[in-house]
Amino acid sequence: MAPILLNCTGSDHQEYIKQQVQVKNPYLDTMEEDILYHFSLSTKTHNLPEMFGDIKFVCVGGSANRMKSFAQFIHQELKLPGNPEEVRDICEGTDRYCMYKVGPVLSISHGMGVPSISIMLHELIKLLHHAQCRDVVLFRLGTSGGVGLAPGTVVITDKAVDYSFRPQFEQVVLGKVITRSTELDEGVAGELLQCSSELQNFPTVIGKTMCTHDFYEGQGRLDGALCSFSHEEKLEYLRKAYEAGVRNIEMESTVFAAMCRVCGLKAAVICVALLNRFEGDQITSPHDVLVEYQQRPQVLVSHFIKKRLGLAA
C-alpha cells in the first residue's frame, strides 16, 4: 500500500505514487511474510528498507561473473570508499542468482532466457517494493547477435520484439495467453544515446531487439544439434528482421520490458553485438576481444549513472 504523505495532495501525491514501484498483486499486502526464495531474502529476516531503500539504479545481466565485475567497476567509477575486490554477494545463501549493492547501484545476474529472468524480476520488483524504493531505473546489460552490425556495436533497444517482430510479450497464465506491451522508456534510451556520443570510439545504434526462446534454432542458427532449414531460409528471416528494424537478437528483453512497464519502472536494454549474424553463427572472436565487448554496455551505463549523480567529468 502506498504511504499517505502528509501535506502532499492532488498532483504531488499522484507524482509520488508514480515514482514508486507498483506491484500488481492484491494478495501481497495480506501476507505476513514474503520469502524471496531465489534471493535467499525475506521480509521477516531482513530489513529490506534499510538494506535497499537507497537504490536508484538496478543493472541486470546473464552471467554471475559479469555482474560481479560490473559491481567492482561501478565501485571504482563512483569512487566509493572500501575495496572493490571485497564486494559481497547478498544472495550467497543460494546459487541461483548473485546480487551486489554498490552505493545506489544494485547489480544482479539473471541467467539465460525468459523463465530465468522472469523469476528474478518477480522477486526483484517485490524487493524494490518492500524496500520502498522510488525513482528507480533498470538496465539490462547483455550480449547479443547483431543483425547487419559490425561486432562490438552497442545496441540501445527502442522496442523489444518477439519472433514475429511484434512489440509484445506473451505469458501463459492459468492456461490462457496474456499479452503485454514491451515498449521501453524513450527518455532513458535517448539519454543513453547522448551518453554514447560523449564516449570515444563507441559505435552505438538505437533499434529493435528481437527476443527468442532459444540460442540455436530460435535464432535461426545453422550450427545447433538440430536444424530444419536452409542457409537461404535463414538469411531471408534475418533480412525480414532487418527490414522490420531489428538490429540485434538476444533472449530476455521482451519479458524484461513488459514486467518493468506494468510495474511503473523505467527500463532500458543495452546489448553489445558479438557477431554479425549475416556473416555467421559461431562466435569466433578471441576471449580478450569478447571480454572488452562485454564491458561496453557497462561503460555506457556507468557514464549514464555518473551523469545522473552529477559525477561525470
Ligand X SMILES: O=P(O)(O)O[C@H]1O[C@H](CO)[C@@H](O)[C@H]1O
Ligand Y SMILES: O=c1cc[nH]c(=O)[nH]1
Residue 141 is labelled as binding a ligand: yes
**Binding residue per annotation — 308?**
no
By CB under 6 A, the residues from 76 to 105 that bind ligand X are: none
CA distance 54 to 45: 19
Is 220 among the residues that bind ligand X (CB under 6 A)?
no
298 binds, among ligand X, ligand Y, none (CB under 5 to 8 A by kind): none
Is 142 marked as a binding-site residue? yes
The DSSP code for 97 is -
DSSP label at residue 26: T
Q: Could you give the CA distance from residue 103 to residue 83 in angstroms, rounded to a whole number?
A: 13
Q: Which is nearer to ligand X, 48 or 154 (CB)?
A: 154
225: its cell numbers = 544439434
Known binder of ligand: residue 180? no
**Can you tell me which of 40, 69, 143, 157 binds ligand X, judged by CB under 6 A?**
143
Indicate which single residue of 215, 216, 242, 278 sits in contact with ligand Y (rule: CB under 6 A).
215
Q: Chain-centre distance of CA 265, in angstroms?
A: 12
Which segment (128-136, 160-168, 243-251, 288-296) binds ligand Y by CB under 6 A?
Answer: 243-251
Amino acid present at 5 = L
With CB under 6 A, what is the number of residues at the site for ligand X? 10
Cα 28 to Cα 34: distance, rounded to the nearest angstrom: 8
251 binds ligand X (CB under 6 A): yes
Please identify which residue in the block is written with the cell numbers 538496465.
139
Which residue's Cβ lies closest to ligand Y?
Answer: 145
Cβ 211 vs Cβ 251: under 8 Å: yes
252 touches ligand X (CB under 6 A): yes
**The three three-digit cell numbers of residue 147, written as one number:** 543483425
219 binding ligand X? (CB under 6 A): no
Residue 251 in contact with residue 160, Cβ under 8 Å?
no
Tell me: is residue 261 an annotated ligand-binding position. no
Judged by CB under 6 A, the residue of 112, 150, 289, 291 near ligand X is: 112
* Cα first-last separation, the chain: 40
Residues 255-284 close enough to bind ligand Y by CB under 6 A: 274
C-alpha distances in Å from residue 185, one per residue of 95, 156, 190, 234: 31, 11, 9, 31
Q: Footprint of ligand X on this chain (CB under 6 A)?
A: 61-63, 112, 142-143, 215, 250-252
Report the binding-site residues. 96, 140-143, 219, 221
Q: Footprint of ligand Y on this chain (CB under 6 A)?
A: 143-145, 215, 219, 249-251, 274
